[in-house]
């Protein structure tokens, strides 16, 4: 009997994993056992990040949503990624930066339970973030810290959120030094490595609330979100025009996701400067695309906005896994598979990058003016 010819569609790797054992590293476990479904997507995420996004010429931006720093993921994952040069710039919710500061000030957060009686917690002066507990005075002490720091003379002018976080991060880093707590705060780590950290909605957090109080008291500090738009666009344009690539690593979705991705429409649509879109797209999310929300929007949808280079769409992965599960695995995989990259210290290059994108826009503007004059 003639043997049936195997379909060319059956050319993928066999599903034939070796048994899991207690000696495997996290990276080896991912490669050997994450073979299908969301496990395979997580493996694809790990490999995209480690093998392509961490190439020397790729500038990596990370957006952070969800209460990740209260859960300790700033210390366990985000700080090691920054220290190893794996994250070059950040867009975060203000809440993540506020709660991150607790640790840099030596304040405590505890594992609790999501089934707690919240009325009893309130009566005891305990605040809950799902299954994380902390004393109400942690909020009051952190509020006082930001008000005291931001009242200093060096803050009394309009600034981008990156400048605010860099200046505030210096104070958190000094508090860490005094308390011998180095490695606890993401803000302090970003300051030490000159990683620019932006907040897309600066009024939407306890940091913004305390700065608003200083405004009532007559202080001159003003956070300028329009400066953030131009600075973030300049990072992306600079990364492409200096011979590199741009990658986005999105944890969750929400406003930070859009703020990071809108850099390309800002360059192409608003400025009118020729560009194609980000080169690599990696998102970890639990949001569905069919509800129409930004958090679940796919990279292919982002192509229609000019956010993602259509020629690089195969280098896009959406991993439908909780960030608290996926991030430690992706971080462990990258740290095992890639050598440390030299930090780019992009905060120190802000003026240079802004000048490059401004020059590109001015060339477009002059060309438009010349064409308009020729028509008239």
The answer to whether 349 is a known catalytic residue is no
- Any domain includes 376: no
Domain that holds residue 55: 34-93+160-200+223-365
Written as six digits, the tokens of 354 are: 């802004």
What CATH number corresponds to the domain at position 280?
3.40.910.10
Which pairing describes strands 222-223 and 132-135: parallel, antiparallel, or unpaired? Answer: unpaired
Q: Looking at 240, 245, 257, 307, which residue is catalytic?
A: 307
Q: Which residues contact 177 (CB under 8 A, 6 or more apart)?
A: none
Burial of 135 (0-12, 13-18, 19+ CB in 10 A): middle
d(C-alpha 139, C-alpha 155), whole Å: 22
Task: Tell me the helix, strand and coil percentages in the chain, rounded to 5.
Answer: 55, 10, 30
- Any domain includes 274: yes
How many domains in the chain?
1
- Any domain includes 172: yes
- pLDDT for residue 335: 98
pTM over 0.85, yes/no: yes
pLDDT along the chain (376 residues), means of 10: 76 89 94 94 96 97 96 97 98 98 97 96 96 97 98 98 98 97 96 98 95 97 97 97 95 93 94 93 85 70 72 83 96 97 97 97 93 84
- Any domain includes 345: yes
- pLDDT for residue 3: 66
- Any domain includes 303: yes
- Any domain includes 143: no
Letter string b/e over residues 219-252, b meaning 16 or more CB atoms within 10 A of that residue's CB: bebebbeebbbbbbbbbbbbbbeeebbbbbbbbb
- Any domain includes 53: yes
């Amino acid at each position: 009997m003639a043997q049936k010819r195997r379909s060319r569609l059956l050319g993928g790797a066999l599903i034939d994993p070796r048994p899991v054992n207690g000696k495997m590293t996290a990276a080896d476990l991912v490669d050997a056992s994450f073979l299908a479904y969301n496990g395979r997507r997580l493996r694809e995420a790990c490999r995209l990040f480690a093998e392509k996004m961490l190439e020397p010429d790729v500038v990596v931006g990370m957006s952070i949503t969800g209460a990740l720093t209260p859960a300790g993921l700033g210390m366990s994952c985000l700080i090691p990624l920054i220290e190893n040069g794996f994250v070059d710039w950040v867009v975060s919710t203000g809440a993540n930066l506020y709660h991150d500061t607790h640790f840099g000030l030596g304040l405590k957060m505890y594992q609790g339970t999501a089934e707690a009686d919240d009325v009893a917690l309130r009566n005891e002066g305990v605040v809950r973030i799902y299954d994380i507990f902390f004393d109400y005075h942690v909020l009051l002490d952190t509020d006082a810290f930001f008000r005291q720091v931001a009242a200093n003379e060096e803050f009394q002018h309009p600034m981008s959120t990156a400048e605010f976080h860099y200046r505030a991060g210096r104070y958190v880093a000094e508090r860490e030094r005094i308390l011998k707590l180095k490695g606890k705060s993401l803000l302090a780590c970003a300051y030490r490595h000159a990683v620019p950290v932006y907040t897309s909605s600066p009024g939407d957090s306890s940091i913004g609330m305390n700065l608003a109080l200083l405004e009532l008291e007559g202080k001159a500090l003003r956070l300028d979100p329009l400066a953030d738009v131009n600075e973030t666009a300049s990072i992306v344009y600079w990364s492409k025009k200096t011979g590199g690539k741009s990658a986005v690593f999105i944890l969750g979705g929400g406003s930070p996701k859009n703020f990071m991705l809108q850099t390309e429409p800002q360059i192409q649509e608003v400025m009118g400067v020729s560009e194609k879109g980000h080169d690599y797209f990696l998102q970890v999310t639990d949001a569905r695309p069919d509800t129409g929300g930004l958090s679940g929007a796919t990279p292919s949808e982002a192509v229609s906005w000019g956010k993602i280079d259509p020629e690089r769409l195969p280098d896009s992965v959406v991993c439908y896994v909780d960030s608290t599960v996926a991030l430690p695995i992706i971080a462990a995989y990258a740290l095992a598979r890639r050598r440390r990259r030299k930090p780019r210290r992009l905060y120190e290059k802000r003026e240079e990058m802004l000048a490059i994108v401004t020059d590109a826009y001015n060339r477009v503007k002059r060309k438009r003016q010349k064409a308009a004059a020729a028509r008239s």
